[in-house]
């Protein structure tokens, strides 16, 4: 089953879990399973069915905007990572 990596800021909606398994054969299907029963998470990720601009989603490390968006296929234990957009540069460097 695909694994969704949850960023720190959203773990309050997943009982603190950093990785959540969810059913689906596309990113959109997996996200539908993921947000079921988690309306606040749905609100954080989506605006009228579209991913919010400050949410980046990666399948096998690639941003889905440059793949097939929410239609991007996933199989097996593919990792879907949700990451907040941040300004360049790290806290330390």
Partner 1 sequence: MRFADITQAVGHTPLVGLPRLSPPGYRLHVKLEGTNPTGSVKDRVAKYLIEQAETYGLLSPGQRVLEPTSGNTGIALAAICRVKCYPLTCVMPENTSEERRQLLTMFGADIVFSPATEGSNGSVRVAREMAAADDSVYMPFQYGNAANALAHFETTAPEILADLPQITAFVAGLGTGGTLTGVGRRLKAWDASIRIYAAEPEYGDLVYGLRNLDEGYIPEVLDVDVLDGRIKVNSLHALEWTRRLADEEGIFAGVSTGASLAVAARVCDRLPEGSDVVALSPDGGWKYLSTGAYAPGDVREIATSISGTLWA
Name the minimum Å distance from CB 45 to partner 1.
Answer: 9
Q: Which is nearer to partner 1, 9 or 19 (CB)?
A: 9
DSSP H or E stretch at residue 32: helix 27-35
Name the minimum Å distance from CB 11 to partner 1.
Answer: 10
Virtual torsion, Cα 57, 60, 63, 67, nearest 10 deg: -120
Q: Which is nearer to partner 1, 1 or 55 (CB)?
A: 55
* Residues lying near partner 1 in the complex (CB under 8 A): 7-10, 44, 52-56, 58, 61-63, 65-66, 81, 83-93
Among 64, 69, 78, 61, smallest CA distance to 24 is for: 78
Q: Which is nearer to partner 1, 75 or 85 (CB)?
A: 85
Name the minimum Å distance from CB 39 to partner 1.
Answer: 16
**What token pair was written down for 67?**
């793949």
SS3 assignment, position 56: strand
């Amino acid at each position: 089953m695909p694994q969704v990596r949850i960023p720190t800021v959203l773990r309050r909606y997943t009982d603190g879990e950093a990785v959540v398994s969810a059913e689906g054969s596309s990113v959109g299907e997996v996200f539908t399973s993921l947000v079921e029963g988690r309306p606040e998470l749905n609100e954080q990720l989506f605006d009228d069915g579209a991913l919010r601009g400050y949410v980046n989603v990666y399948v096998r490390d690639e941003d889905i905007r440059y793949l097939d968006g929410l239609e991007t296929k996933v199989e097996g234990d593919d990792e879907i990572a949700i990451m907040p957009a941040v300004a360049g540069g790290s806290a330390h460097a």
